[in-house]
Amino acid sequence: MTFLCAGVRSENNSSAEPLRLVGGASRCAGTVEVKLRGEWRRGKVYGRLDRWDLGATAAVCRELDCGSAVSGRERYDVPQSRVWRISPDLVKKSTVRKCVMNTDFPSSSWGLEVVCSDWVRLVSGSGLCSGSVQIWDQSWTWLCEEALDLQGAEVLCRELGCGAPSLLQGAVSPLGLQTFFCEGHESALRDCPCSSSRTCSSGAAVNLTCSEPLRLVGGASRCAGIVEVKHRGEWRRVEVYDRLDRWDLGATAAVCRELDCGSAVSGGERDGFPQSRVWEITSDCVNKSTVRECVVSRDSSSSSWALEVVCSDLLNRPIISLSVLDGASEALPQGVRVKPGSKFRVKCSVEPQFPGGSFQLLPPTVNLTQNHTLPAVNHSAHFLFSDTGPAHKGNYTCVYHLQVFNHAFSSQSHALQLYVGGQGQRRR
This prediction has a pTM of 0.72
pLDDT of res. 243: 62
pLDDT interval class at 427 (50, 70, 90): very low
Report pLDDT digits (tens) over 172-222. 435 555 688 888 899 898 898 887 656 677 777 888 899 888 999 998 888
Q: Is residue 8 part of a domain?
A: no
Averaged pLDDT, 13-21: 70
Domain assignment present for 197: yes
Q: Are residues 261 and 327 in the same domain?
A: no
Which residues constitute the domain of residue 32?
19-116
Q: pLDDT tens-digit profile of 245-286?
A: 678 889 999 999 989 898 899 998 889 889 999 988 888 888
> Which one of 311, 337, 363 terminates a domain?
311
Q: Do residues 32 and 111 touch, judged by C-beta distance below 8 A?
A: yes
Q: Give the DSSP letter string of 383-423.
A: EEE-S--GGG-EEEEEEEEEEETTEEEEEEPPPEEEEES--
- pLDDT(236) > 60: yes
Same structural domain, 161 and 204: yes
Q: What is the CATH number of the domain that holds 330?
A: 2.60.40.10
How many structural domains compose the chain?
Answer: 4
| Average pLDDT of the chain, as a whole number | 83
Mean pLDDT on 326-330: 73
- Nearest CA-CA partner of 122 in 69, 181, 68, 82: 68
Structural domain contains residue 134: yes
**Residue 357's pLDDT band (boundaries 50, 70, 90)?**
very high
Pick 48 or 201 by higher pLDDT.
201
Mean local confidence (pLDDT), 112-132:
89
Q: Taking Cα atoms as reference points, which of 220, 310, 207, 305 lies closest to residue 259?
A: 310
Task: Provide the pLDDT for residue 116.
Answer: 94
Indicate whether 356 and 411 sit together in one domain.
Answer: yes
Q: Is residue 237 part of a domain?
A: yes
Q: Indicate whether 428 pLDDT > 60.
A: no
Q: Side-chain half-sphere of 52: how many Cα atoms within 13 Å?
A: 29
262 with 332, same domain: the answer is: no
pLDDT above 60 for 6: no
Give the span between the Cα atoms of 238 and 270, in whole angstroms.
11
More confident residue, 177 or 93: 93
Residue 301 in this model has a pLDDT that exceeds 80:
no
Cα separation, 61 vs 117, in Å, equals 8
pLDDT surpasses 90 at 75:
no
